[in-house]
Amino acid sequence: MARLELGPNLEQLREQAEGAVDRHFEPVRQRMALYTRKTMEARRHLAGSPSAMLNKEAQRRRIKADDIARRVVALAEVDEATEDDRIALKLKLRKALTAEKIRKILSQNGITL
């Protein structure tokens, strides 16, 4: 038996769902933008090129610049994995052929419209 859906058409629902995914991941995306330069500095520092930025922070915090660099790189790697999850989720939504499937994908990932 066919199911009658009232509301947005499939393309509109897909767009709404992708917007919901972006909003769900927004805090991570903002943090990534903020730490881009710091991450580059941290990777260079760990490769042997001292970073004035990290050294200054280390002096203020009274810890080693190496410790800051390792922490920054670890956070960046987690953020990169999360961004990959966001992209994969949006691709799943684009492949979904029904409104029910779109809603199921969102629900399975703890996202509401």
pLDDT at 82: 87
How far, in Å, CA of 1 to CA of 70, rounded? Answer: 57
Integer Cα distance of 2 and 21 in angstroms: 28
pTM above 0.75, yes or no: no
Answer for the pair 42, 33: CB distance below 8 angstroms, yes or no. no
Q: Summarize pLDDT for 77-109 with one digit per residue, the tens.
A: 988 898 899 999 999 999 999 999 999 999 999
Contact 98, 88 (CB under 8 A): no
